[in-house]
Amino acid sequence: MNLDRKLSEIDSIINRIYQERKPPGLTFGLFDKNELTFEKNLGYANLETQSRVNRNTSFMVGSITKLFTVIAFMQNWEKGLVDLDDPVNKYLPKGKIETKTGWPEVRFRHILTHTSGIGELRSIYDLFKKGFRLLTYDDDEIPPLSSLHELPVNPASPAGEKYAYSNVAVSILGYVIEQLNGKTFREYILENILQPLGMIRSDLIRTESIKENEAIGYKRKRNQTQRARRWNNIIKPSGALIASLNDMVKFGQMNLTKGKFGTSQILKPETFELMWSPHYYAHDKIMERYSIGYIFRLHNLNGHFIVEHTGGVSGFNSAFVCLPEDNLGFFISCNLNEGMYERTTLQVRNEILKVLTDISKEHPTTNPQPAKSNWSQIEGYYGAYPGFLTNTRIITAGIEFKLKKKQDKLHFSGLIGKQKKGVLLHPTEDPLVYEGYNKKGDAIYYSTKYIFDTDDNGTIIRLSREFDRFRKLDLLQTFRFKLYLSITGIFAIIILAIIILLFI
- 118-137 pLDDT, tens digit per residue, is 999 998 888 888 888 888 88
- Residue range of the domain that includes 446: 372-473
Question: How much is the pLDDT for 1?
Answer: 66
5 vs 491, more confident: 5
Residue 367 lies in a domain: no
Question: How much is the pLDDT for 492?
Answer: 77
Say whether pLDDT at 417 is over 90. Answer: no
Q: What is the pLDDT of residues 184-209, one digit of tens each?
A: 999 999 999 999 999 999 999 999 99
Say whether pLDDT at 352 is over 90. Answer: yes
504 and 408 within one domain? no
Query: DSSP 3-state helix, strand, coil percentages of the chain (rounded to 5)?
Result: 35, 25, 40
Return the percentage of the chain with pLDDT > 90, whole number: 79
Q: What is the mean pLDDT of residues 43-49?
A: 97
Question: How much is the pLDDT for 275?
Answer: 98
How far is Cα 321 from Cα 30, in angstroms, rounded to an integer?
A: 10
The total domain count for the chain is 3
Question: How much is the pLDDT for 362?
Answer: 65
Question: How much is the pLDDT for 72?
Answer: 98
DSSP code for 48: T
Show the CA angle centred on residue 488, arms to residues 487 and 494, nearest 5°: 90
Q: What is the pLDDT of residues 421-468, one digit of tens each?
A: 899 999 999 999 999 999 888 999 999 999 999 999 999 999 999 999
Pick the closest to residue 292 from 109, 143, 142 (CA basis).
Answer: 109
Residue 352 lies in a domain: yes
Provide the pLDDT confidence category of residue 340 given band limits of 50, 70 and 90: confident
453 and 487 within one domain? no
DSSP code for 157: S
Say whether pLDDT at 397 is over 90. Answer: no
How far is Cα 264 from Cα 442, in angstroms, rounded to an integer?
A: 38
Provide the pLDDT confidence category of residue 419 given band limits of 50, 70 and 90: confident
Question: How much is the pLDDT for 193?
Answer: 98
Residue 362 lies in a domain: no
Q: Is the dihedral of CA 385, 288, 321, 79 positive or negative?
A: positive
- Looking at residue 82, its amino acid is V
Say whether pLDDT at 175 is over 80. Answer: yes
CATH number at residue 424: 2.40.128.50
458 and 481 within one domain? no
* Residue 157: CA count within 13 A, CB half-sphere: 23
481 and 461 within one domain? no
Residue 364 lies in a domain: no
Return the percentage of the chain with pLDDT > 70, whole number: 98
- Arithmetic mean of pLDDT over the chain: 93
Say whether pLDDT at 295 is over 90. Answer: yes
Say whether pLDDT at 476 is over 80. Answer: yes
Residue 361 lies in a domain: no
Neighbours of 407 (CB within 10 A): 7
How far is Cα 284 from Cα 451, in angstroms, rounded to an integer?
A: 10
67 and 153 within one domain? yes
HEC secondary structure over 197-230: CCCCCCECCCCHHHHCCECCCEEEECCEEEECCC
Is 460:382 a contact under the CB 8 Å cutoff?
Answer: no
Residue burial 258-282, b: 16+ Cβ < 10 Å; e: rest: bbbbeeeebbeeebbebbbeebbbb
* Residue 108: CA count within 13 A, CB half-sphere: 22
Question: How much is the pLDDT for 184?
Answer: 97
Residue 266 lies in a domain: yes
DSSP three-state, residue 251: helix
Question: How much is the pLDDT for 351?
Answer: 96
